[in-house]
Amino acid sequence: MGTEARAAQQPALLSLRGLYAGYGGGDILRGVDLEVPEGSVTCVVGPNGAGKSTVLRVVSGLLRARAGSATFAGTSLLGRSPRRILDMGIVQVPQDGSLFPNMTVVDNVRMGAYTVRDRGLIERRMGEVQDLFPVVRERAQEKAGALSGGQQKMVEFARSLMLNPRLVLLDEPSMGLDPKTLRTILDQVDLMRRTGKTVLMVEQNARSGLRASTHGVVMESGRVRLTGSAAEVLDNPQIGELYLGGAMTGSKPSEPATMTAPE
Ligand SMILES: Nc1ncnc2c1ncn2[C@@H]1O[C@H](COP(=O)(O)OP(=O)(O)OP(=O)(O)O)[C@@H](O)[C@H]1O
Ligand SMILES: [Mg+2]
């Protein structure tokens, strides 16, 4: 069975249909259709201002949609508060670093479990995320601000798992990181998938991001231009030329292509 057929058989954990949303005046999202299969890492790529972060904001409840639908495990997300959406099992790691630099690594991670009352459960989850992200154990008592950018991102990943979410939203996890650290971070994203999480990720390093993902979505001007398996998106000649820095096959090794200038 081909990747395409397999993808078609997977049920969508998150499904967006005809989604419109914006800030104040006009619409930024203009009819977004997007499916995130359960167990996938779905990578959204596209130029600056395409609306990638806006999609994540609608899913996490930070921005209200004007029209369309968004369903998660069969339940509508629209009109729900960010807190309610968190309780449903969706957690977001924002684009800008979100750790408290003067707090210890372990306290930062523990804050991810702020809605959990059961102390035993919190400590059990802490052990689990420390197994996944050893830096959380090794540097537990250091201030988060003393860690490197890549290590801080792993601490953010660890914190996002403390509520045992079903869907993790990652907005440009490799932002500001060097190519080697980028690869480590993308490996950690795949690790999250292998532990049973579904991931919806926006990635500026389009080619590297897609290579680390199972599914790809290309956005442009508030709409989805192309979706498919990550390999299909990587191999699409038109998309390659427009967004990935020249058409080439997805299986060829290359330097990570930065699609847009760093902010
Ligand atoms: N808080 C806001 N208020 C008003 N306009 C906003 C706000 N946030 C984003 N926008 C606008 O919405 C559009 C889409 O922004 P968005 O952040 O979703 O793009 P993006 O695809 O994530 O881009 P980037 O790759 O630069 O992160 C842009 O034109 C942006 O200026
Ligand atoms: Mg963005």
Q: Which residues contact 26 (CB under 8 A, 6 or more apart)?
A: none
pLDDT tens digits, one per residue of 94-104: 888 889 999 99
How far is the centre of ligand 1, averaged over its atoms, from the C-alpha of 203 (Å)? 14
Q: What residues does the ion ligand 2 have nearby, CB within 5 Å?
A: 53
Atom of ligand 1 nearest to the CA of 222: 14
Q: What is the pLDDT of residues 179-220, one digit of tens each?
A: 899 999 999 999 999 999 999 999 989 999 999 999 999 999
Q: What is the CA radius of gyration of the chain?
A: 18
pTM attached to this predicted model:
0.89
Mean pLDDT (the chain, rounded) = 89
Backbone torsions φ then ψ of 169, nearest 5 degrees: -100, 125
pLDDT at 54 over 80: yes
**Encoded tokens for 63:** 């921005």
- Give residue 244's pLDDT: 66
d(CA 65, CA 34): 14
| More confident site: 62 or 243 | 62
Q: Whose CA is nearest to atom 4 of ligand 1?
A: 23
Kindly give the interhelix angle for 179-194 and 119-132, rounded to the nearest 10 degrees: 130
DSSP classification of residue 113: T
pLDDT in tens, 110-123: 999 988 999 999 99
Pocket of ligand 1 from Cβ distances under 6 Å: 23, 28, 46, 48-54, 260
Find, among 230, 108, 113, 87, the residue nearest to 166 by Cα. Answer: 87
The domain made up of 1-89+167-254 is a member of CATH 3.40.50.300? yes
- CA of 44, nearest ligand number: 1
**Separation of CA 96 and ligand 2 centre (Å):** 10
Cα 155 to chain center, whole Å?
Answer: 15
pLDDT confidence of residue 245:
60
Give residue limits of the domains in the chain. 1-89+167-254, 97-164
